[in-house]
Amino acid sequence: MNVSIFGLGYVGSVTAAALAKQGHSIVGVDVQEQKVESFDGGIAPIVEPGLAELLRSAKRRGLLRATVDCQDAIDATELSIVCVGTPSSASGALDTRFVRHVVDEIGAAVRTKSSHHVLVLRSTMLPGSTARLVEELLSDLVEAGYLDVFFYPEFLREGTALQDFEEPSLAVVGARHGTAPPACLMRTLFGERTPVVDWSTAEMLKYACNAFHATKVTFANEVGRVAKQLAIDARWVMDMLCRDTKLNVSPYYLRPGNPFGGSCLPKDLRALTMHARINGVSVPLLESLLPSNHQHLQSLLTLIEESGQRDVVVLGLSFKAETDDLRESAMVELSQVLLGRGYRLRIYDPALNLAELVGANKRVIDVKMPHLASLLHHDLGSALGSSGTIVAAQKCAPLCDLRRLITPAHHVIDINGWSELRELNSPYQGLCW
């Protein structure tokens, strides 16, 4: 393909070199004349292993040139990739003016062409940005079929960027309405096995990844500060933590849904953060986890309130499916709040037998929900009733029975991604989707 790349910084130069290596003809575009002159001569604008050699090779093969003229670049290519920066403004908000300016220029140039063009945005932008740019600057071209627009986030690490481009650990392409791009683009640019989602989902994934990476670094450093205060080598602690690929380094706890609870996580977080405070160690990330967990529960309460029904049915009261452990269960906390606000509450949890509760588990009910026996239904039909908001916290009821018993007068709020609930004869809403 003939490809124009707008923005010859880190992402743009790496993308150009990698595509030229594959045999594509590259036209680099930038507003800085000095950068354009260097790039046009095959000189790398940044230090990155292997980059200088690839750009020199591309220049020798006649696959590389650069210009400051947007119209020249658009006329000479059929695909443009935007890699300009999106810095922070003074307030911390994202500054997309450079992307907006480039996209506006590209749109004007494409309007003078008589052929179809493809625009690929790689600049990191908040969800909804691509849609706004298209609506405000490119809608005529997109609607008329002269321009296809994709968002293709980059996941390049400095120092290994070329390897990451050629062998990505993660790749996704955002398309309008999530429609698959043409096979030639999937084969030559995006990768045939790359998942295709809508623009906003692809934009959000990039931010989720970066936020997660920042969280991991901060978490390791906070553990390190606490460990050092206790004369413990945190490198060993974190090395051992990472060896558990079943729970620690895995998808297990990375699915949006129920707030965390149970006998361990809340208690141990409180103990660790209290120890840090007593000993003068600041751990703001760890200290934010319980408040964030509480806020997640508040989000669920808001959805229940917005459903407009005063009857609420909780499917699954314990903190985890197929257990009867009620200690610090989010559903126990939810039930308390709902009762206090005058809601009529019904609970269904086949794993729960009040007569068998003992010790701390029984004390939870004695203190927080002494009238649980009157709220707990052992028959699913009587629990569901003929109407009400159903909070599906666990998969504790047969789907066939739910299909038979749930009516349009019910409103289902799915907490843990029970996708089959969408098929029921009632309004459906997910907690995080």
Q: Which strands sit side by side in the sheet containing 428-430, from one edge to the other?
A: 344-348, 311-315, 388-392, 410-414, 428-430
Cα-Cα-Cα-Cα dihedral sign, residues 148, 153, 156, 158 = positive
Angle 276-277-278 from CA coordinates, rounded to 5°: 95
The structure tokens listed for 81 are: 């990739």
Cα separations in angstroms, 317 against 98, 135, 193, 297, 420 = 51, 46, 41, 14, 20
Sheet holding 64-67, edge to edge: 64-67, 25-29, 2-6, 79-82, 117-121, 147-151, 173-175, 196-198
> How far from chain centre, in Å, is Cα 57?
38
Cβ(414)–Cβ(429) below 8 Å: yes
The CA-based angle 430-290-126, given to 5 degrees, is: 55
What is the helix (H) or strand (E) element at residue 79, kind and residue range?
strand 79-82
Q: Are 391 and 337 in contact (CB under 8 A)?
A: no
User: 320: exposed, middle or buried (C-beta count within 10 Å: 0-12, 13-18, 19+)?
Assistant: middle
Pairing between strand 311-315 and 196-198? unpaired
Which among 184, 209, 264, 432 is annotated as catalytic?
A: 264
CA distances 316 to 53, 242, 261, 334, Å, are: 60, 32, 13, 12
Contacts of 332 (CB under 8 A, 6+ apart): 317, 326, 364, 368, 369
Q: Is 264 a catalytic residue?
A: yes
Closest CA to 8 of 100, 153, 37: 37
- Residue 157 DSSP class: P
Q: Would you please indicate which residues are annotated as catalytic (active-site) residues?
A: 264
